[in-house]
Amino acid sequence: MTDNVKVTLTEAQLRDLIQQTITQTLTTIGVDTTDPHKMQKDFIHLREMRESGEAMKKKTQLTLLGIFLAGAISALVVGVKEYFK
């Protein structure tokens, strides 16, 4: 059974309700809503950490590929030299 309840709010009351809901939600997940600039800095730091991690991953993959290719080429060259001895 559902109750059809009609609530009438002014625009200011609705804005306050939305603001309270957002503040409560952010506080629940551990966000300090009293200092938005500090939170923005935290998000910037997180983005920089993520981007540097992605760059490190790319460089590591390229380095490992280079090592593998150098080893394969070296083995091929040694094999060819031994074959023609």
Expressed as residue numbers, the domain containing 18 is 11-83
Number of domains in the chain: 1
Q: Say if CB 31 and CB 39 are below 8 A apart.
A: yes
Residue 26 lies in a domain: yes
Which pLDDT score, from 0 to 100, does residue 4 have?
86
Enter the pTM of the model: 0.57
d(CA 56, CA 62): 10
Residue 6 lies in a domain: no
Which residues, at least 6 apart from 9, have a Cβ–Cβ distance to it below 8 Å? 17
Residue 2 lies in a domain: no
Residue 69 lies in a domain: yes
Q: Say if CB 26 and CB 33 are below 8 A apart.
A: yes
d(CA 20, CA 1): 29
Q: What is the pLDDT along the chain (85 residues), one digit of tens a residue?
A: 577 888 899 999 999 999 999 999 999 998 888 888 998 999 999 999 999 999 999 999 999 999 999 999 999 999 999 999 8
Residue 76 lies in a domain: yes
